[in-house]
Chain A
């Protein structure tokens, strides 16, 4: 029994060593992007924080929503919140969150993930039931005729993290920033991947 056990351990150790020794062909480098990205990300984080402050004020002026609400309460709250946010952000223009610097960074990140070993299936996942929408309008509801695009975990882990109540979604090949409580689009990019 001891000799069988020894052989098993030996095989295990050989495999473990081989796994480490084989060149890392799949490891994508993130260091270059990270170094140049820091100020851009810090600025994005500040804009998100400013939005949360604005949203907090908007929320305090609409009726409170409990976690077990009736549909009419859910819808009423959502619409009232959307209206307040729109009001507070009057004059907002596309690109206030996704500034040219950040959009370039997002595009680079998406491109790197999509050109990786799983790129084809990541893209298939994004484009599943995700038709291109001809026009996106700030502060409009996410189009009800279009399902929410599926965000692959690999993409979500690569983009800057967002606080609760904000999400990234792809609308076609563009990335939108969605306020899920108000169900409105608060910013969007140009195309960040090929059709």
Chain B
């Protein structure tokens, strides 16, 4: 056990920065730009950002899920474990979807059980509402939120294998999920994440965790501290999508540094009107009813639908993954 104490040197926040900090901030941003001009300086990779194509207005016809054979199909669920009627109603929509869109798995962005965590709570807040999916063989993979006891890591149906953070290779397509513990990001976890990301050769790298790096929520909003720690790794190692929760609504964030962020904390408790005035971050927000996401990945394209408790598609679109582009040789 290594024992050190004392404040770590803070990296400058986006809100306050010294001239030195500004230069340090600029350097990583400028370096890829400068190096990609055509100098062929080494084998560094510059990623093509993830791009999103979505209907311009919510009323436009949604982008349908292609439902192709061999694609990866999964759902995203967050902040749901209340045991309340609305949770069951949203779960029923997931089951309805699954009848025609066979889910391979469900990823959970945390707050899986609110309040007490007695055996009967696991049943009423998780097993009963999602029974049709569980019985159909759909596996749920959990990340923990701030309302979750740490002992959930041992619960068989959350498939965490006793770990607070882990990575998961999808059963189809070249996809890996990085399931993180954002309530307790110890240095050991950050080192593990970097190693995992670096060692991953999947085309799609998707980070799943509770606290959003970007959110327009009035109650919580963006976690700037976590952003300072995680975002550089996401950028460096070509993460295309981040799935988060904590704020109790659905929000798709405009791509940030080429990464598409979603807040899907809309599975149970709802913070009605918490997005308030859409900020510069919001590509699409929905905070008037519960919602989950249905996602399909086929080769380089991800199609997503955000589906409400009443079955309405409240957001949809197509995302092209980030692609590392090798720097060109000088001519």
Chain B: interface size category? 35 or more
Question: Is B168 an interface residue, CB under 8 A from the partner?
Answer: no
Question: Once the chains bind, are A22 and B23 in contact (CB under 8 Å)?
Answer: yes
Question: Is B30 an interface residue, CB under 8 A from the partner?
Answer: yes
Question: Once the chains bind, are B184 and A156 in contact (CB under 8 Å)?
Answer: yes
Question: Once the chains bind, are B19 and A22 in contact (CB under 8 Å)?
Answer: yes
On chain A, the residues within 8 Å of B21 by CB distance are 25-26, 117
Docked Cα-Cα span, A113 to B184, in Å, equals 17
Interface centre among B35, B145, B156, B160 (most CB of A within 10 A): B156
On chain A, the residues within 8 Å of B34 by CB distance are 8-9, 11-12
On chain B, the residues within 8 Å of A156 by CB distance are 184-187
Q: Name the contact of B1 in the complex, choosing from A105, A145, A161 (C-beta under 8 A).
A: A161
Docked Cα-Cα span, A181 to B150, in Å, equals 7
Closest A residue to B190 by beta carbon equals A153
Question: Once the chains bind, are B10 and A26 in contact (CB under 8 Å)?
Answer: yes
Chain B nearest Cβ from A22, distance in angstroms: 4
Within 8 A of B (CB), among A133-182: 142, 144-145, 147-154, 156-163, 167, 180-181
Q: How many A-B residue pairs have CB under 8 A?
A: 217
Within 8 A of B (CB), among A15-57: 15-16, 18-19, 22-28, 30, 33-34, 37, 41-42, 44-45, 48-49
Chain B nearest Cβ from A89, distance in angstroms: 20
Question: Is A187 an interface residue, CB under 8 A from the partner?
Answer: no
Question: Once the chains bind, are B146 and A33 in contact (CB under 8 Å)?
Answer: no
Within 8 A of B (CB), among A76-121: 77-78, 105-106, 109, 112-113, 116-118, 121
On chain A, the residues within 8 Å of B16 by CB distance are 117-118
Docked Cα-Cα span, A27 to B187, in Å, equals 19
Question: Once the chains bind, are A71 and B123 in contact (CB under 8 Å)?
Answer: yes
Within 8 A of A (CB), among B30-64: 30-31, 34-35, 37-39, 41
With A12-B30, A154-B225 in contact, is A71–B119 under 8 Å at CB?
yes
Question: Once the chains bind, are A34 and B4 in contact (CB under 8 Å)?
Answer: yes
Question: Once the chains bind, are B18 and A26 in contact (CB under 8 Å)?
Answer: yes
Within 8 A of A (CB), among B1-36: 1-13, 15-21, 23-24, 26-27, 30-31, 34-35
Q: List 21 A-B contacts (CB under 8 A).
A: A19-B20, A30-B7, A33-B6, A41-B3, A45-B3, A49-B1, A67-B162, A71-B117, A71-B119, A77-B154, A113-B8, A117-B16, A121-B225, A150-B182, A151-B183, A153-B190, A158-B6, A158-B7, A159-B5, A161-B188, A163-B1
What 5 pairs between A and B have smallest CB-CB spacing?
Answer: A30-B6, A67-B162, A68-B156, A71-B122, A180-B150
With A25-B18, A116-B7 given, name 7 new contacts (CB 8 A). A1-B38, A2-B330, A5-B38, A67-B153, A117-B17, A121-B225, A152-B225
